[in-house]
């Protein structure tokens, strides 16, 4: 498994990931606007814009975006995004990291490994305490966060989607 910055080299695999989510109806956390974008090049352009503070759209924050690729078949099994800092929404409801695992690849440990692999990158970016949020009923995400050292802080109500979110912190000691 490897974290890869999205590129056109993985166009078919990214679109297969997207199609599977659209068919399943699941949330695509940590994927920016991939669900809405029919063309991989448009999504990659968005990823590139958000990777620099000076080109990041207003109301968004600078991010580092990865696809999680299984090396033997090049399948994109997950997507994960690091948000370098918070806006008001992320500080309350989103956190530093958003991620999704392909529905057909869930319950295989990919989310835990993907999160584990991205935490050193967070440290390199100067993030020493990582906030992650998950739906209160998302047992898989909760276990993933806890497995990676997450410490429960609180549960908050997000009024727009009308959901309860659990907030966890992972401390990245040097």
Q: What is the mean pLDDT of the chain?
A: 93
Say yes or no to pLDDT of 29 above 90: no
Q: Are 86 and 62 in contact (CB under 8 A)?
A: no
Three-state secondary structure call for residue 126:
coil
Q: Are 1 and 70 in contact (CB under 8 A)?
A: yes
CA 70/CA 60 separation, integer angstroms: 29
Please state the rounded mean pLDDT for residues 13-31.
89
Q: For 76-130, write each residue's pLDDT tens digit.
A: 999 999 999 998 889 888 999 999 999 999 999 999 999 999 999 999 999 999 9
Of 110, 52, 44, 55, the closest CA to residue 84 belongs to: 52
**Given pLDDT bands bounded at 50, 70 and 90, which one contains residue 28?**
confident
CA 49/CA 55 separation, integer angstroms: 5
């Amino acid at each position: 498994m490897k974290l890869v910055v999205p590129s056109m080299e993985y166009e078919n695999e990214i679109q297969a990931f997207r199609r599977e989510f659209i068919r399943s109806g699941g949330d695509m956390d940590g994927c920016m606007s991939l669900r809405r974008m029919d063309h991989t090049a448009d999504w990659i352009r968005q990823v590139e814009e958000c990777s620099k503070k000076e080109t990041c759209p207003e109301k968004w924050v600078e991010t580092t975006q990865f696809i999680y690729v299984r090396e033997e078949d090049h399948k994109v099994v997950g997507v994960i995004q690091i948000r370098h800092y918070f806006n008001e929404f992320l500080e309350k409801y989103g956190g530093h990291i958003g991620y999704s695992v392909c529905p057909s690849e869930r319950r295989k440990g990919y989310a835990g490994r993907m999160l584990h692999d991205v935490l050193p990158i967070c440290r390199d970016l100067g993030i020493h305490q990582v906030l992650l949020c998950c739906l209160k009923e998302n047992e898989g995400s909760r276990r993933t966060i806890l497995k990676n050292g997450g410490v429960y802080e609180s549960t908050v109500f997000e009024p727009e989607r009308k959901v309860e979110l659990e907030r966890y912190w992972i401390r990245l000691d040097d």
